[in-house]
């Protein structure tokens, strides 16, 4: 299942006569939709998730964000009214949810990493050697994230004679970063 496909299916954890409870493929949270008083269906049609702001959802994006509510053999079908609090996810559902959270975290990190790399490039273009504080200001990313990014790319602060950020582990750096930061001698 590719990424777009997996975003189009929302697993129904439980259904009562009022609500369908689903795990949102976009945010991993449990959302409620109307069940039209029927708790026996296999599918509950296409819906737009509540976690995406209404003004973001228009004609073009609608088909990307809306999902199909699909039941599984694990779906709880109840005649009594359920609440999100009372629902207990099974092992598989918890793992699925964990992978959604992981995907969100990976995506955030990718965006943050891009901002940091762009800031490094901009500083290099201006002829100034990038340091943590300038990268932080140019990228808008927090101090800790910039520092982690530098270390992940083999760049460490040298406090000896040539103070500044240098490539300490060239195996972790790209040739572009080696040119910008230069390898510590």
Task: Label residues 106-116 b or e (16+ Cβ within 10 Å = b).
Answer: eeeeeebbebb
Q: Find the binder of Zn ion among 34, 46, 51, 87 (CB under 5 A).
A: 51
Q: Do 173 and 181 form a contact (C-beta atoms < 8 A)?
A: yes
Q: How far is the CB of 133 from Zn ion (least distance, A)?
A: 37
Residue 15's DSSP bridge partners are 20, 77
- Residue 7 interacts with Zn ion (CB under 5 A): yes or no: no
- Do the beta carbons of residue 77 and residue 15 sit within 8 Å? yes
Report the run of H or E that residue 67 belongs to, with start and end.
Answer: strand 67-70
Q: What is the DSSP string of 95-123?
A: HHHHHHHHHHHHHHHHHHHHHHHHHHHHH
Please choose, out of 3-11, 44-52, 57-65, 95-103, the segment that lies near Zn ion by the rule CB under 5 A: 44-52
Q: Binding to Zn ion by residue 24, rule CB under 5 A?
A: yes
Write down the least CB distance from residue 25 to Zn ion, Å.
8
Binding segment toward Zn ion, per CB under 5 A, in 12-20, 45-53, 89-97, 159-167: 45-53
- Give whichever of 15 and 100 is closer to Zn ion, judged by the CB atom: 100
Asked if residue 27 binds Zn ion (CB under 5 A), the reply is yes
Binding site for Zn ion (CB under 5 A): 24, 26-27, 49, 51
């Amino acid at each position: 299942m590719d990424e777009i496909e997996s975003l189009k299916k929302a697993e129904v954890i439980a259904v009562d006569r009022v609500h369908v409870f689903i795990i949102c493929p976009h945010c991993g949270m449990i959302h409620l939709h109307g069940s039209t008083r029927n708790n026996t269906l296999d599918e509950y049609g296409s819906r737009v998730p509540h976690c995406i702001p209404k003004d973001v959802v228009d004609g073009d994006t609608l088909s990307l964000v809306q999902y199909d509510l699909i039941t599984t053999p694990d779906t709880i079908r109840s005649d009594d009214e359920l609440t999100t609090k009372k629902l207990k996810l099974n092992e598989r559902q918890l793992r699925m949810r964990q992978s959604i959270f992981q995907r969100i975290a990976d995506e955030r990190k990718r965006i943050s990493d891009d901002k940091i790399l762009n800031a490094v490039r901009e500083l290099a273009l201006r002829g100034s050697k990038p340091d943590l504080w300038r990268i932080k200001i140019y990228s808008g990313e927090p101090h800790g994230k910039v520092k982690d990014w530098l270390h992940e790319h083999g760049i460490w602060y040298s406090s000896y004679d040539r103070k500044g950020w240098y490539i300490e582990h060239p195996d972790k750096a790209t040739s572009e970063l080696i040119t910008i930061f230069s390898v510590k001698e």
